[in-house]
Structure 1
Amino acid sequence: MSRPKPQRDIASEGTETELRIVGGRFRGRKLLYHGDPVTRPMKHRVREAIFNLVTSDVAGRHALDLFAGTGALGLEALSRGAAFTTFIERHIPTAKVVRENIARLEVEDQCELKEASAFVWVKRDLPKLAKDTPWLVFVSPPYAFFVDREQEMVDLITSVMEHAPLESAVVVESDDRFDFNLLPGTIKQDRYSEGWDIRPYLPAMVGVWRKREEEAPA
């Protein structure tokens, strides 16, 4: 039996520095990226793949972009129908880019930007967040965090899973050094089962988890 061809490395294609919204009402609109190496913008095709996975989890949701970078994930969510986005970005020059991109799309009334560590914000403020609407949470930090701060990342994601209202979706982007088995919940075995849906977009690994009553972490 021939082995399946590995999925193309779409996360590292090209030397893309121009960012744009890939779908929804702002499709094609350009976003600012100042080339700061602290920021690792997600490639368009990976972002598009993620939103294909969460198509039914966007409209009317409160999006949380926890390691916002340029803000592309949270702004993409707004473009596709999210009601509101909260951006968390600790690095002040990068937070300025998020603010500029919010202004560029003229969505200030649908956004809140917190210049804070995602680790601190999740511990201090996430439990107080309104739960009247399901969340769509993006966790896309520097890949090194999954190695150098592995337990902190596990604790952060676990806290998000515990506090999220029912029907929320959590999207985690790591690389293949992170073991999703460290997180609460099971790993989805087929299209009909519940649990973390893990997809490779090498070197990126994307996991999507939806909070159902039977799948809520203990």
Structure 2
Amino acid sequence: MSGRLRIIGGEWRSRFIAFDDAPGLRPTPARVRETLFNWLQADVANSRCLDLFAGSGALGFEAASRGAKQVVMVDNNPQTCGKLRENCALLAAGRIEVVQADVRQFMERGDPAFDLIFLDPPFGRGLVEPICRQLAEAGLLAAHGKIYIETEPKLALPDLPGHWRQLKHKRAGEVAYSLYQGQ
């Protein structure tokens, strides 16, 4: 089974991207993406973005559409990465790099820090806290960079890196989402 979602703003506004169903894949709902990118409107242009657990690519494509200079999408599913690459070709999205890798292994490769990080892991697997710790240890969030975290509504976010400050938090339906800034 496959699905489609619409890019909300920017260069590719109203264009559709396709995605295949995969275990744990839940595209960020349009109203959540709209809120998130309203929060980030002054931060996206010319930024380096990292979309971990990219899935449908909704967040990364939205960032590229709104002027991010580089977006790196990471997912471990070969079919998901294939569909992301197809969507990149359809949109002529040369600013997007799709990396098929385990997120934890990707974070060990020594990339320069990112201005924006989108973290939307599969629910119910306890990944948020250890991934956030590894992001901080690897120095992948630039000074004063922002990280978006999407979780199931019942999940508390204990023990995030102490130098991350929560800027925003909301809930919508089956997701809770927060925006943090590094110090």
Once the two structures are TM-superposed, the CA of residue 38 in structure 1 deviates from its matched residue by: 4.5
Once the two structures are TM-superposed, the CA of residue 37 in structure 1 deviates from its matched residue by: 5.0
Equivalence for 2:182: 211
Q: Which runs of 5+ in 1 are unaligned?
A: 1-15, 188-193, 213-218
Q: Secondary structure at the match of 2:143?
A: coil
2:143 is the alignment partner of 1:143: no
Equivalence for 1:112: 97
The one-letter code of the counterpart of 2:73 is F
Once the two structures are TM-superposed, the CA of residue 167 in structure 1 deviates from its matched residue by: 2.2
Supply the RMSD in Å over aligned alpha carbons: 2.1
Which deviates more, 111-120 or 178-187? 178-187
Once the two structures are TM-superposed, the CA of residue 195 in structure 1 deviates from its matched residue by: 2.7
2:166 is the alignment partner of 1:195: yes
2:83 maps to which of 90, 97, 102 = 97
Q: Does the 8 Å CA contact 2:166/2:178 hold for their aligned counterparts?
A: no
Once the two structures are TM-superposed, the CA of residue 159 in structure 1 deviates from its matched residue by: 2.6
Once the two structures are TM-superposed, the CA of residue 52 in structure 1 deviates from its matched residue by: 1.3
Q: Does the 8 Å CA contact 1:185/1:196 hold for their aligned counterparts?
A: no
State the identity as a percent. 29
Equivalence for 1:168: 145
Once the two structures are TM-superposed, the CA of residue 209 in structure 1 deviates from its matched residue by: 0.6
Count matched residues: 180
Deviations along 1:97-150, whole A, 9 cap, x unmatched?
Answer: 11111111101x31211110112212x12xx2124xx521000111122xxxx2
**CA distance in 1 between partners of 2:23 and 2:5 (Å):** 15
Q: Which runs of 4+ in 1 moved over 3 A?
A: 35-38
Deviations along 1:63-115, whole A, 9 cap, x unmatched?
Answer: 101101121111100111110000101011111111111111101x3121111
Aligned pairs (5 A) from 1:47-58: 47-58=33-44
Structure with the higher helix share, 1 or 2: 1
2:50 is the alignment partner of 1:64: yes
Name the larger-Rg structure. Answer: 1
Once the two structures are TM-superposed, the CA of residue 36 in structure 1 deviates from its matched residue by: 4.0
Once the two structures are TM-superposed, the CA of residue 210 in structure 1 deviates from its matched residue by: 1.0
Q: Secondary structure at the match of 1:25?
A: coil
Q: Secondary structure at the match of 2:8?
A: coil
Once the two structures are TM-superposed, the CA of residue 196 in structure 1 deviates from its matched residue by: 4.7
Q: Which runs of 5+ in 2 are unaligned?
A: none
**CA distance in 2 between partners of 1:183 and 1:99 (Å):** 32
**CA distance in 2 between partners of 1:144 and 1:129 (Å):** 28
**CA distance in 2 between partners of 1:174 and 1:116 (Å):** 21
1:74 maps to which of 49, 52, 60 = 60
